[in-house]
Amino acid sequence: MIKAIDEMKKTHARMTTLLNELAVLEDGVDADYSQLVIDYKWICNELEHRRTTLQKRGRCL
């Protein structure tokens, strides 16, 4: 596994923990997650594009 993917997996685990905690703690006051939602979707889109590119090259799971 390349280092960047390993780092993203660690960050993803941290993100999961944070989101689970925020789901319980968040009261909605002064909360604006709109840019974060956009960024998160963009990251997923970029990773999906990379997966598609690799699959077109013949890489498979």
Give domain limits for the chain. 31-55
What band does 1 get if pLDDT is binned at 50, 70 and 90? confident
Rounded to an integer, the average pLDDT of 10-20 is: 98
Q: Which pLDDT tens digit goes with each residue over 17-43?
A: 999 999 999 999 999 999 999 999 999
What is the overall mean pLDDT for the chain?
A: 97
Distances (CA, A) of 51 to 8, 9, 14, 23, 35: 15, 16, 23, 30, 24
Count of all residues that appear for the chain in the document: 61
* pTM of the full structure: 0.86
Which pLDDT does position 31 carry in this prediction? 97
Please measure the distance between the N-terminal and C-terminal CA atoms of the chain and give it in whole angstroms: 14
Residue 10 has pLDDT above 80, yes or no: yes
